[in-house]
Structure 1
Amino acid sequence: MTGKTRRWLSGVAGGVALVLAAGVSTPVATAAEQADHAATKAVLDQYLAQAGPGAAVHAGNAADAWTLTTGTARINENRPLTQDDHFRIGSQTKTFTAAVVLQLVDAKLVELDAPIGRYLPGVVTGAYDGNVITVRQLLQHTSGIVRDIRDAAANPDGTYPLAELVRSAMDEPALFPPGTKQEYSNVGYLVLGMLIERITGQSAGDAITDRIIKPLGLAETSFPAPKVRALADPYLPGYLGTRVGPFFFWVDATTATELSFWSTAGAMASTLDDLAEFYRALLGGRVFSAAALAEMRRTFPPSDAYGLALSKLPLSCGGVAWGHNGSLPTGHYSITLVTDDGRFASVVTNTNRFDSKPSAIDVANSALCEGKS
């Protein structure tokens, strides 16, 4: 992050490997560094007991940035996570997808409350009515479309076209009438990927790259091409598994997933540093118009917690933060949150488990509240 003081605290293609490992020691920061952010370090250490082999938080404000790590990036090694490690960001991809759609809204090429069938005739069919479901409903998970793909047919090379992913879901029963409830739908964001491709004439990945990644200078962020599973160096290995007493049973899943299956719903890779910069740019008005940002932050009642690929989190110290989380079967879980006054916290662990207490949200909340003036 240009202009910020940075203070450090502290794949194999093909198959998967099952590893039995005893607990590794936590890399230790200097006493002075730990004391600077002792409260957040304590929450991070507690989070590790429910998370992956390692965890990290990268946080700060407009003037300063700092990184805390615990555990290890790679099992059987003492290698701290860093703010520059590449990992799969899962559903944080949705915020990038939504950003492109909102740019198209700004350009008057798409209307938020227009039916998706206007732009993709004959695509949202079967159990759904593309002449009723709107672009906004796809963005806010109120379309009633099923959550996940179940039976899509892969290409001979093992990749998945967006059109086939969406087609395969159209015979799944609708969850509810459009606009009446809010339930998460990965399929809805694959439809939005098709929308981006139809309007821009580019692949969704190229559109996200040309419209968001490159203009914001997110050099460590990428949308994978089909069949590309490896992460750029340095990377954070991802693990699936569980803990039994002092032992961890981990499966290295870093390259086990064909990412075109997740596409605009969850395929991208980034770093803690780049993710913090992306959300700060988003909330700072550097991605699209103020009107588009207001629409993105318009949450759906009664929870008042989720807008257009942007979640709202009340902070324990007052105020709210905005951002998104993401997990993927590659063994990564992350969340990034940013406040209107420029504070940010991006958290990652190298497994996809997120139902923990304390949670990654608790870690981010602590870091954001530490930074409150």
Structure 2
Amino acid sequence: MKHTRQRFAAVIGAVAAAAALLTAGTAQAAPAGDHSATLAALKTFQAAAGPGAGIFAGDTTGSWQLSVGTSTINTSKPVLADQYFRIGSQSKSFTAATVLALADEGKVALDASVATYLPGVVNGNGHDGTVITVRQLLQHTSGIPSYDPLGSLALAEPDGSFKAATLVREGLKRPPAGAPGTVFSYSNTNYLILGMIVEEVTGLPVHEAVTRRVIQPLGLTRTLFPAPGDRALPAPGIPGYHGARLGPFFFWSPALDYDPSLFGPAGAVISTEQDLATFYRALLNGQVLSPAMTAELLATTPVTSDAYGLGVFRMALSCGGEAWGHNGGVPGYFSQTVATKDGRYASAMTNVHFTNNTPVQQIFTLLDTALCENHR
């Protein structure tokens, strides 16, 4: 479908009025249907987000994409579905899939204690790895608080990388959010510990284990889990920005350059909207795990408010039914991908991540609109 052009925002210098050209377009083989409601929702999302925003969506009949704003400030480059960006906590779904694949092989037991695999690692300050289970790490009911990534920058090794054990100890310095299994408390520390379990069980660095067990088998050629020290964003990549908005005014500056090991299995993966849609569709529809383990993946509990499984969120749709996926925010990017069992999918991103006023509701509305616009 051909591109349409309206006014999009550009920044010259530090602060400028947001009143230039907005670019909207579609690509790929688009299924029949009108995407005007999704375009409107995308514009609303981008108005509260970064310099640009994009969405890649579709169903069993085909796919399509939309872009507004710009992927690179001071240009009119669209956000394209095959461009690389840092996916943040969507990485947790890749880590969870790896742990569950190991469970399928009998190498990890979901209800075994953390101490079974990492004796002595989780202890002190009210934390007890002999009673916290692998399942509780996956579903964020361990009670272990999250470490503060940006507050941990001073803990870098001489080469600039970070050791997971060091960051885990930072999280354990805080008292438990609750007794294991009694409260949902989202925590990056949980997924660093899961990464350490993967390494202990496989004998591989976690980035290699996830790559071999999930990324490569699914043919995700534009998805990578970078090794510690590899800070490069492959080409074609979408630059990430730090910024602020005040009414019609905004300021963008390059996002923090950080080592991927600062987030590791909790948030270091790089991918594209297209690859993420492929991954979540495969995960949801049993192409990654056995039927029994896929059921475990999607199992929620009253403690998690019936919304979080094992590394994936459930999203109720306005047109009925549900979608599953995850969101992610790291310096420079905010994104989310969801898929349904009947073959619909949507992956959206923007190239900024605010520390405050993250447009969570706007991206929910955008994804819901994309999935429901022609399926009511």
Q: TM-score, normalised by structure 2?
A: 0.90
Once residues 279 and 89 of structure 2 are traced to their aligned partners in structure 1, the CA distance between those partners, rounded to angstroms, is 14
Structure 2 unmatched ranges of 5 or more? 5-11
Q: Which amino acid aligns with 1:272?
A: E
Residue among 87, 90, 112 paired with 1:89: 87
Is the alpha carbon distance of 1:18 and 1:88 closer, same or farther for their aligned partners in structure 2, counting shifts above 3 Å? Answer: farther
> Quick one: percent identity of the two aligned structures?
49
Is the alpha carbon distance of 1:252 and 1:108 closer, same or farther for their aligned partners in structure 2, counting shifts above 3 Å? Answer: same
Partner secondary structure for residue 36 of structure 1: coil
Q: Which residue of 2 aligns with 1:25?
A: 21
Residue among 51, 58, 65 paired with 2:56: 58
Residue among 357, 362, 365 paired with 1:362: 365
Partner secondary structure for residue 91 of structure 1: helix
Q: TM-score, normalised by structure 1?
A: 0.91
Structure 1 unmatched ranges of 5 or more? 1-6, 11-16
Partner secondary structure for residue 68 of structure 1: strand
Cα distance, 1:202 vs structure 2: 0.3
Kept in 1, the 8 Å contact 2:24–2:66? The answer is no
Q: Which residue of 1 aligns with 2:176?
A: 174
Is the alpha carbon distance of 1:308 and 1:76 closer, same or farther for their aligned partners in structure 2, counting shifts above 3 Å? Answer: same
Residues 201-257 of structure 1, C-alpha deviation per residue, up to 9 Å, x if partnerless? Answer: 00000001001110000000011121222211111111111123433211211x512
Residues 113-153 of structure 1, C-alpha deviation per residue, up to 9 Å, x if partnerless? Answer: 11010011011111210100000000000000012245472
Cα distance, 1:170 vs structure 2: 2.5
Kept in 1, the 8 Å contact 2:346–2:367? The answer is yes
Once residues 285 and 147 of structure 2 are traced to their aligned partners in structure 1, the CA distance between those partners, rounded to angstroms, is 32
Count of matched residue positions in the alignment of Structure 1 and Structure 2: 357
Q: Which residue of 2 aligns with 1:205?
A: 207
Residues 243-291 of structure 1, C-alpha deviation per residue, up to 9 Å, x if partnerless? Answer: 23433211211x5122211000001100000000000110111101111
What are the residue-to-residue correspondences of 1:2-13 with 2, within 5 Å? none
Q: Which amino acid aligns with 1:61?
A: D
Once residues 191 and 266 of structure 1 are traced to their aligned partners in structure 2, the CA distance between those partners, rounded to angstroms, is 13
Once residues 140 and 29 of structure 1 are traced to their aligned partners in structure 2, the CA distance between those partners, rounded to angstroms, is 38
After superposing the two structures, state which structure 1 stretch, 219-228 or 167-176, moved more.
Answer: 167-176
Cα distance, 1:172 vs structure 2: 1.9
Cα distance, 1:347 vs structure 2: 0.5
What are the residue-to-residue correspondences of 1:1-373 with 2, within 5 Å? 19-23=14-18, 24-29=20-25, 36-127=34-125, 128-149=127-148, 150-151=151-152, 153-253=155-255, 256-301=257-302, 303-329=305-331, 331-353=332-354, 355-356=358-359, 359-372=362-375
Cα distance, 1:19 vs structure 2: 3.9
Kept in 2, the 8 Å contact 1:335–1:347? The answer is yes
Once residues 91 and 18 of structure 1 are traced to their aligned partners in structure 2, the CA distance between those partners, rounded to angstroms, is 32
Q: Which amino acid aligns with 1:161?
A: K
Cα distance, 1:8 vs structure 2: 6.9
